Amino acid sequence: MARQKGIIKLRGTIGDITFYKTQDGHLAREKGGVDASRIKNDPAFQRTRENGAEFGRAGKAGKVLRTAFRSLSLNASDSRMASRLTQQMMQVIKADAVSNRGLRNVLDGETELLKGFDFNAQGKLGNTLYAPFSSSIDRAAGTIDLEIPVFSPLTMLAAPEGTTHFKIVSAGAEIDFEAENYVISTSATEILPWNALDTEVISQSNGVTAASTKPLFLVVGVEFYQEVNGAMYPLKNGSYNPLAIVNVSGM
């Protein structure tokens, strides 16, 4: 892979060289690779087939999780969030200590490894919300809760320039990675002023199926707003909004 330089940038294929554009700029690479039928059948590529199967499983699991939290992540994610989540799902799958290589999966892995995942690398929750908070997952009752004690937004919330208001959001989800479906519940505060006055205690409870046997997740995020002539506008179209997985209960 080579980077294109010069005024004129090419796209397409010339001979054995393919020119294309990515987020990293205009690149070029030589065509090549092993024939697909050989990868599919040749015993020498057994490890490749196993890795491919697990990577595909990670991609599907990541898509289910992204879809579950889509209503919150639409304005709180970066352009590489999907690929980063797939990489994290691969770590979950590799933690499967019971299945054979190539058959390892999310459910037999360690979904707890997803705790701390930030949907927005440009606005991480840990670099934004400094107020201490607690979370709990009651599997028997089907409740996924968040509580933030009283705090001063001006000192405990690192807001981007232009912020006048904010909102704390959370969501609890029960995700069935095998059936590729989910149950989700969301909560949000009112739009609050970003100033030195203390907030009220923030308590949010998100309900899912009681006594569920599926992995349960809690995400927490912050949305920033700017007030202009009495109307609230999302700041920078949400590019600084953090959203992260803060609690996970596996199988």
As annotated, the residues of the chain forming the CATH 2.60.40 domain(s) are 114-249
Least confident of 14-18, 82-86, 129-133: 14-18
Assigned fold of 114-249? Immunoglobulin-like (2.60.40)
For residues 75 and 210, what is the distance between their CA atoms, to the nearest angstrom? 30
In whole angstroms, what is the distance from residue 217 CA to residue 245 CA?
7
Question: Model's pTM, two decimal places?
Answer: 0.84
Residue position matching structure tokens 């459910």:
107
Per-residue DSSP letter, 191: P
d(CA 236, CA 226): 9
CA 164/CA 194 separation, integer angstroms: 5
Region 215-231: what's the mean pLDDT? 96
- The pLDDT tens digits for 44-61 are 556 777 778 889 999 999
Q: How far apart are CA 70 and CA 64, in angstroms?
A: 10
